[in-house]
Structure 1
Amino acid sequence: MDKVFELASRTAAAIFTRGSCDMCFTITTLFHNLGASPAIYDLDQFGGAGREMERALKKLNCNPAVPAVFIGGKFVGSSKDVISFHVDGSLRQMLINAGAIWF
């Protein structure tokens, strides 16, 4: 869990992904379209530590474990949560407040 939060707190926005995850690609694209450049952490690239991080994300009630989105070092949720925030207009403001985009 510590590694997840340590990585997530390095940047204004972070997304934990897997290379084969279509929703991970969709959420990453959404962030880029909003003008953010989130840190992307592909759990496949971490080997055994990636499996531990996946278990930690599930403990945060991120199910499925990826994509897991952090903004301002805080866990925001999975794809369904992020899409809900985008639809209600609050995602952009969250990114602005965290300094991930400037408008």
Structure 2
Amino acid sequence: MAGKQMVANLIKQKKVVMISKTYCPFCTKAKNALANYKINPEEYEILEIEDRNDMDEIQNYMSEITGARSVPRVFIGGKFYGGGDEMMNMHRSKKLEPVLSNAGALL
């Protein structure tokens, strides 16, 4: 239960949270999309889960709240926005910056 509670708290406390695995190409895609913006580092958390004992618990929690266990899972302002393809599509269609801005995530 510790992993689930920790992630729930992160999503509440930080403006941008990504559940990720370092070797995942879709996670890299999401990170690259978000790297185009000046996100306040104090409000941005990338949680790499592949070496965590509670990885399955975290992925099961992601399934509960987003409908899928896969990574990345990106939350902005406490709301789930998708994974790598969604972040890149939002960036390309100029929809990501207003979402980040409205969440108070930008410097």
Q: Which has the higher contact order (CA 8 A, sep 6+)?
A: 2
Residue identity (%): 24
Aligned partner (choices 72, 89, 92) of residue 77 of structure 2: 72
Name the counterpart of 1:40: 46
In 2 relative to 1, CA 33–25 (structure 1 residues): closer, same or farther, beyond 3 Å? same
> Is 2:89 the partner of 1:84?
yes
Residue 83 of structure 1: how far off its partner (Å): 2.2
Code of the residue aligned with 2:83 in structure 1: it is S
In 2 relative to 1, CA 35–62 (structure 1 residues): closer, same or farther, beyond 3 Å? farther
Q: Distance in 2 between matches of 1:61 and 1:15?
A: 16
> Is 2:34 the partner of 1:31?
yes
Name the counterpart of 1:6: 9
Q: Distance in 2 between matches of 1:91 and 1:16?
A: 18
Contact 1:17 1:40 in 2 (8 A): yes
After TM superposition, what 4+ stretches of structure 1 lie above 2 angstroms from structure 2? 1-5
The alignment's TM-score, normalised by the length of structure 1, stands at 0.82
Q: Distance in 1 between matches of 2:47 and 2:12?
A: 12
Aligned residues: 100
Residue 51 of structure 1: how far off its partner (Å): 1.1
Name the counterpart of 2:61: 56
Q: What CA RMSD, in Å, does the superposition of the two structures yield over aligned residues?
A: 1.8
Q: Distance in 2 between matches of 1:24 and 1:82?
A: 10
Q: Distance in 1 between matches of 2:92 and 2:36?
A: 14
Where does structure 2 lack aligned partners over 5 or more consecutive residues? none
The alignment's TM-score, normalised by the length of structure 2, stands at 0.79
